[in-house]
Structure 1
Amino acid sequence: MSSALSLEQLRTAVSEGRVDTVLLALTDMQGRLQGKRLDARHFLEEVVAHGAEACNYLLAVDVEMNTVDGYAMSSWERGYGDFEMVPDLGTLRPVPWHEKTALCLADLRWADGAPVVASPRQILRAQIDRLAERGLEAFAGTELEFIVFKDSYEEAYERGYRGLRPANQYNVDYSLLGTARVEPLIGRIRRDMTAAGLVVEDSKGECNDGQHEINFRYGPVLQTADEHSIYKNGAKEIAALEGCAITYMAKFNEREGSSCHIHLSVPALDDAAFERFIAGQLACLRELTLLYAPNVNSYKRFASGSFAPTAVAWGRDNRTCAVRVLHGRFELRLPGADVNPYLALSAMIAAGLHGLDAELELEPPVEGNAYVADKEHVPTTLRAARERFAASTVARDAFGEDVVAHYVNNADVELAAFEAAVTDWERVRGFERL
């Protein structure tokens, strides 16, 4: 990919005092940006050539950054040492919403130069290499929904995330009137992402109160995953600067959830190979669901008539199916807004390659309502998805035993935390009446 900011342009900007900070970021298991704010001159003089260290616990903690057991690569027993953040200068770009700031994403390697295989970016790179071995390249676009609140993140926290004020009080799907209410925020996000080198296509309202979506031009899969993560992090930061909050929870309340539909194409495939690639998606959908729906909350989306899929089915331009096939590409409708794009795209490539290698035959498309079709159901809980992923031969062949064990443990950590929690639902039902 071409960078939005070349190294020479950065050198000039630093020498002229227009940039003094470079964010060096890795993407963690949740797809979040983690890293350091570096003095720009230090980045140019030292880090470009030699990288920078970071504690390897960044790929071995839970969502709240608690150290947890069960990871082979990082633990108290191993001393929580470092891995190296190696700048990918192709991702260098300005960060317009922060003063005098640029950003660069990093690949992760150990001190001996070996890749950190459980890193989401390295997992996707490995699948890209598998495609390249067959003379193939994949392109993707992600459609990421979110809900905007008029409350700040601090106010939301202090109120226990209850009684928040959505930016719209009714369904504004495609509404120009309704979306005008939040244009000061959404418009700023669009403009700042354009200035950061992302190619914005559109924004639109969605169904739930305060729910919106901003879409970007498709590109090579690694570029798409990178820009997805940069945008998601940046949108939260811009919302905070505007005194608002954005959530990417898959299911914030009992109404419509927030999805992340992913479009994928492999242009070199002929019609027969494309059908096998789609057949692979269906064959592997349930065993790779963990990489599409990584959290307990993810599974609350999968409800009949919700535009989130429940059936392992494909159809031509049919939004009731998990796989919606369009001309020359397909859309996977399973992931929610909480998805890690690197892992989801890796799973889609792995499933497609399985379909090619096994020469799978594509079943007939579903005509009509897939919610009532006689098809297998996608997993309905994180535990069910965890069990299928742990037993998956396709996952082991594609990602390796170390990666499978790493993300099975991540699911175990989340399940243990959830099962130990006492929820508001339990208090309401049980405080007086039980």
Structure 2
Amino acid sequence: MALDAAGGGFIARNKLWTEAQAEAAARVMALVEEHELRTIRVAVADPQGKIRGKTLTPRAFRGAMADGLDFTTAQFNFDSAEGIAYNPFTSGGSLAMEEMEGFPDVTLVPDPATFRILPWVPKTGWILGDMHFPDGAPVPFDARHKLKDAVAALEKTGHSYVAGLEIEFTVCRVLDPMMAPEHMGSLGLAPEPPKVEPLFRGFAYQSEAHLDVADELLGVLADHCEALGLPLRTMENEMGPGQLEFTFDVTGALEAADNLTLFRSMAKQVCARMGLHATFMTQPGLPAFFASGWHLHQSLSKDGRNVFATPEGSGALLSPTALNFVGGLLEHAVEASVFTTPTVNGYKRRKPNSLAPDRATWGYDNRAAMIRVQGGPGLSSTHVENRIGEPAANPYLYLASQILSGLDGLERQLDPGPMEHAPYEAVHRPELPKDLYAAVEALDGSAFFRGHFGDTFVDWLVGMKRSELARFEAAEPAWRDAPEAVTAWEHREYFTRY
């Protein structure tokens, strides 16, 4: 089943693939034929970072690899529980963009570099793509485009972004799936979450006994990561009941975001097939469950060399380039909160003495700081870890916000100031937003992110989050009386969806 690269389809006509992608497309079609695949899932990451897609036959897939795939824009009108944030059937209901009126179709263009054969589904392929308008222009709300733009801006300076992933999540055994019709919810009301029990007992940080209890699952997930080419490094028992942490080796920015998108989806699907439930919700609304985070390890390289590292004997922990990059991360941490922590629930982590930051701080190997420096003179692995993120974050927007913030630090040679030895006591440092309301206001007023992402994108995302917040406020009007408590709305909204 050879791909006719000279067929003059939508992709070739609009020059939407590089030469390398076109060559990879031919290899993809050869794999479809060689492995006798019966279906291929063509997917896209939605605004919440979850996967939406269609399942194609090989014949239809061949057409999609030339002309793309018709795909609805509805996902850009829905908030986190399919609540209609923007009504495209009303005047101005889609941010006054004619291209978005009436739930129109756009074209999903597969990226051949993302193709995989799924190891848990017989004879099934998978590929991720980007959304384009009929004239070939990128759909401005597609987060994968935003990350590619940020990478391109950084690469103009001669630097490449390097990311390592460390993500925590919770796995439970399902006792009652809650599948009766009255549990299904509706548009804007998430389904009733399943009744569960933790996979193992907490609290016991890095317990080998807990890893043994989870051995069957861990073995399956490790095998699938290997088959998918996901660069898994370690699997650990984190602090709370049923809480796990997976770490992944360093890659480029786009590959890292694609990998995390696929991993989260894979973990949830595989767990469901085993009678388990995996959630990337930060703080489940269950007694004694512990909050999870997503720590993003990052550095820059130039000509294959880590430019954050310093020579042995220099006495400097970080290079001047790294210091400026950290300065940018600190400078824009407050206004980036919607990107790093996009849910109501994610802010339950942000409190003193919680292993999560509450201020824009940095320190050496200090888990209370937002930016934790790891490495030192003579170590080529020197990098910084941002501990601010939640596991439900859209990976494309999280990484893009880091790249743009760090790039601003490079361009303006921002000084991060002295490191903090007691970050929770650093009252001179900016306090991070304590809830999604404050984070949305910070992003709405951000000239920096409006300048990079555009007013159309920022206005749209702010509107999406305000729709989510309006549903939260309607369901939980007294939440401010106990702001640290996980509400019933949060558990229903996020436990299953993320």
| TM value normalised by structure 2 | 0.80
The answer to whether residue 255 in structure 2 is matched with residue 223 in structure 1 is: yes
User: Deviation digits for residues 345-395 of structure 1, max 9, x if unmatched?
Assistant: 01101111111222211200001x311222322100111011111111111
The answer to whether residue 108 in structure 2 is matched with residue 99 in structure 1 is: no
The answer to whether residue 87 in structure 2 is matched with residue 33 in structure 1 is: no
User: Deviation digits for residues 38-68 of structure 1, max 9, x if unmatched?
Assistant: 1123212x11111001111112211222332
Match of 1:60 in 2: 77
The CA distance in 2 between the partners of 1:306 and 1:181, in whole Å, is 26
Counterpart contact for 1:156–1:164, Cα < 8 Å: no
C-alpha deviation, 1:14, in angstroms: 3.6
The answer to whether residue 414 in structure 2 is matched with residue 360 in structure 1 is: yes
The one-letter code matched in structure 2 to 1:20 is: R
Counterpart contact for 2:28–2:112, Cα < 8 Å: no
Match of 1:335 in 2: 389
The one-letter code matched in structure 2 to 1:212 is: L
Match of 2:131 in 1: 108
Counterpart contact for 2:85–2:464, Cα < 8 Å: no
The one-letter code matched in structure 2 to 1:235 is: A
Counterpart contact for 2:336–2:443, Cα < 8 Å: yes
Counterpart contact for 1:256–1:306, Cα < 8 Å: no
The CA distance in 2 between the partners of 1:108 and 1:199, in whole Å, is 27
User: Deviation digits for residues 212-231 of structure 1, max 9, x if unmatched?
Assistant: 01222220000000010000
C-alpha deviation, 1:17, in angstroms: 5.6
The answer to whether residue 369 in structure 2 is matched with residue 316 in structure 1 is: no
The one-letter code matched in structure 2 to 1:314 is: W
Seq. identity, %: 29
The one-letter code matched in structure 2 to 1:205 is: N
C-alpha deviation, 1:76, in angstroms: 11
Counterpart contact for 1:57–1:74, Cα < 8 Å: no
The CA distance in 2 between the partners of 1:95 and 1:287, in whole Å, is 38
RMSD over aligned Cα atoms: 2.5
Match of 2:354 in 1: 306
Match of 2:448 in 1: 394
C-alpha deviation, 1:156, in angstroms: 8.7
The one-letter code matched in structure 2 to 1:372 is: E
CA distance 1:181–1:381, change in 2 (3 Å): same
Match of 1:277 in 2: 325
* Structure 1: unaligned runs, 5 residues or longer: 429-434
C-alpha deviation, 1:155, in angstroms: 4.2
C-alpha deviation, 1:18, in angstroms: 3.2
The one-letter code matched in structure 2 to 1:65 is: E
The answer to whether residue 273 in structure 2 is matched with residue 241 in structure 1 is: yes
The one-letter code matched in structure 1 to 2:262 is: I
The one-letter code matched in structure 2 to 1:401 is: D
The CA distance in 2 between the partners of 1:152 and 1:205, in whole Å, is 22
1:409 pairs, out of 453, 463, 467, with 463
The CA distance in 1 between the partners of 2:265 and 2:141, in whole Å, is 21
Counterpart contact for 1:174–1:204, Cα < 8 Å: yes
**Which moved further from structure 2: 143-152 or 336-345?**
143-152
CA distance 1:84–1:147, change in 2 (3 Å): same
Counterpart contact for 1:203–1:214, Cα < 8 Å: yes
Secondary structure, in 3 states, of the residue corresponding to 2:159? Answer: coil
Match of 1:22 in 2: 40
1:205 pairs, out of 229, 233, 237, with 237
The CA distance in 1 between the partners of 2:371 and 2:94, in whole Å, is 33
Secondary structure, in 3 states, of the residue corresponding to 1:165? Answer: strand
Secondary structure, in 3 states, of the residue corresponding to 1:261? Answer: strand
The answer to whether residue 338 in structure 2 is matched with residue 290 in structure 1 is: yes
C-alpha deviation, 1:142, in angstroms: 1.7
The CA distance in 2 between the partners of 1:239 and 1:290, in whole Å, is 29
CA distance 1:140–1:326, change in 2 (3 Å): same
After superposition, residues 43-192 of structure 1 pair within 5 angstroms as: 43-44=61-62, 46-69=63-86, 71-72=94-95, 78-151=101-174, 154-155=177-178, 160-161=192-193, 164-192=196-224
The CA distance in 2 between the partners of 1:168 and 1:74, in whole Å, is 50
Counterpart contact for 1:74–1:81, Cα < 8 Å: no
The CA distance in 2 between the partners of 1:7 and 1:236, in whole Å, is 28
The one-letter code matched in structure 1 to 2:325 is: F
The CA distance in 1 between the partners of 2:124 and 2:342, in whole Å, is 32
Secondary structure, in 3 states, of the residue corresponding to 1:217? Answer: strand
Secondary structure, in 3 states, of the residue corresponding to 2:198? Answer: coil
Secondary structure, in 3 states, of the residue corresponding to 2:409? Answer: helix
Match of 2:294 in 1: 260
CA distance 1:13–1:421, change in 2 (3 Å): same
